[in-house]
Each structure stands twice: as structure tokens, then as C-alpha cells.
Amino acid sequence: MDSSRRRILQLLGLSSLALTARPVFNAFAKEEHAEKPEAILKDSENALKAKQWALVIDTRQFESEEDLEPLMEVCNEVHNVPHLSEKRHEIKWIWGEPYHNAFPGKAARFLSEEVEHKPFLVLCNHCENPPCVRACPTQATFKRESDGIVLMDFHRCIGCRFCMAACPFGARSFNFRDPRPFIKEINEKFPTRMKGVVEKCNFCAERLAEGQLPACVEISEGKLTFGDLYDPESEVRELIRTHYTIRRKQTLGTEPSVYYIV
């Protein structure tokens, strides 16, 4: 091909013309769709809002496994949590743990009989600095900006279980089996999970959106208190101010949002 100066200049001119064509076409395309109104996405007006949700558990009011049972029961029902009797396959959102397991750094060699033998209610701590979120390669688990809940997007979870390794509280469970056959009674308003995803407590995000308190809090008759950690007037702050509280593995720096009155 003859590559004279004239030819090259012609080509340059043509290509720059082609580059300007796209925005022009886009502008025309937009005009065509201009009359199509857009839908709006918003949150519900009666949704409960906070900067960082927190839970205060009054452990003095729980004496035995039976006291924890109704709270665990209601959570499992609401969220379609399967009951797998095999320990390796167990799915746990909220459960009881002995003191020396729940608070390993704080257990003395000899403990009071009462503390030694009663179970402590444990669940996801919805940490302010969550290590599971940093570990997740797909951002399937994330800390929701609007209210500080550490949530799971099951659609994105690839089941790598890095988050389970990262969580110092063992708050996450992996679905080694299809959970559906192991759900006692399916709550049709809430999805189940599938084999191969990790799940955990979601602080009842779906209930908060409708203006309801988490199911465990609602049924606890005041033994659990739920509120905004950053609202100095909130009930949880009042309890923390007036009682001695501890948190699980605080020294790790994950800043758990679940406080225990002991």
C-alpha cells in the first residue's frame, strides 16, 4: 500500500471522526429512551436504623441449657437453620458454650460453681473490625456500611471457607450437605441455603428492615437487649454504662459488638 504522508493524514482524520461518532450516537440513543421513567430503590420507612447494632446479654439471667433453648429454637425456625446431628456437619447461628470456651482468656483456674457449669449464649459478634470480611475473596461477606451488621451474600459465596478460618469465634458454619431435608419446618418467608455455602447469624437484618427486633431478643423477655452502640441514649449503652460487661476475645482487636453482663 502506498503510505504517503497524504494517505496517513487522511486516515488520521477519518479515525478521529470515528472516535467522535460514539458520543453522538449515545446522545441520540439517550433521547429515544428519555421518556422512560426510572424506578426508585429505597429502604422502608419503618425499618430500624443504627450506626452499629449491638447486643447486650445478661448472663446472670441464664442458668441452664433450658434457658437458652427457646432463643436458639426461634432463630432456627425463622432462618431455616437445619438440624444436623453429626457434629462435623452442624450449622450454628446461636448456641451455648461453656465459660472457658466462650471466654478462654478470662477463665481462671478455679471458677465459681455457677459460672463453671452454665452455658453462655454465643453468636456472631458482628465485629467492628471483622477478620472474616478481610479474608473473603469474593466479598460475599461484608460489613454493611449503614448499620454495621456483618452480612453474608449467599449468592456470591464460593464456599472457600477462608472466613471460617479467619473468625476467632467459630461463628460460621459450612453446609457440607444440602440443608433442606434437615429443616424441621420450613419458614416459607425466608430462603434456605444450599450445599457449599457458609452461613451465620445475620442479626435478623430481614426483621430489622420491617421494624422488628431480632427474634432472639424479642423472645428473651428482657434478658437480651438490642440497640445502637453509637447512640449514647440507647438502652444498650445505658446497660454498658451501669454494668460490668465483657466481650469475647477482646484482645484480638476485632471489636465485637456483643457484650456480656457477668
Partner 1 sequence: MKDKKLIITGMIIFFVIVTFPFWYNRGKAAPQPDLILTTKAKTAKVCVRSTEYMRGEHMQLLDVWRDSVVRRGERIYVSPAGKEYNMSLTNTCLDCHSNKADFCDRCHNYASVRPYCWDCHIDNPKENS
Q: What is the distance, to the nearest Å, from the Cα of residue 122 to the centroid of all Cα atoms in its chain?
A: 15
Q: Is there binding between residue 249 and partner 1 (CB under 8 A)?
A: no
Binding window for partner 1 (CB under 8 A); candidates: 82-90, 183-191, 228-236, 246-254: 183-191
Q: Does 186 bind partner 1 (CB under 8 A)?
A: yes
Do residues 164 and 198 make contact, with C-beta atoms less than 8 angstroms apart? yes
Name the minimum Å distance from CB 205 to partner 1.
Answer: 7
**Under 8 Å between Cβ of 127 and 255:** yes
Min CB(93)–partner 1 separation in Å: 16
Q: If we measure between CA atoms, which residue out of 255, 238, 152 comes closest to residue 143?
A: 152
Binding range to partner 1, per CB under 8 A, among 16-24, 41-49, 97-105, 254-262: 41-49
250 binds partner 1, rule: CB under 8 A: no
Q: Candidates 32, 38, 113, 233: give the one binding partner 1 (CB under 8 A).
A: 38
**47 is a site residue for partner 1 (CB under 8 A):** yes
Which amino acid is present at 98? Answer: P
Consecutive H or E run containing 18: helix 5-33
Residues 144-163 within binding reach of partner 1 (CB under 8 A): 144, 146-147, 151, 153-155
Listed residue (20, 37, 28, 173) closest to 94, CA to CA: 173
Binding residue for partner 1, selected from 5, 22, 33, 36, defined by CB under 8 A:
36
* Shortest reach from residue 139's CB to partner 1, in Å: 9
Total number of residues that touch partner 1 (CB under 8 A):
28
Q: Is 205 in the site for partner 1 (CB under 8 A)?
A: yes
Residue at 35: amino acid letter: E
Smallest distance, Å, CB 190 to partner 1? 8
d(CA 256, CA 127): 4
Does 39 interact with partner 1 (rule: CB under 8 A)? yes
Q: Which of 155, 156, 161, 190 is nearest to 176 (CA)?
A: 161
Cα separation, 188 vs 182, whole angstroms:
15
Nearest one of 97, 90, 109, 124 to 200, comparing CA atoms: 124
Give me the residues that bind partner 1 (CB under 8 A), please: 36-44, 47, 142, 144, 146-147, 151, 153-155, 186, 188-194, 205, 209
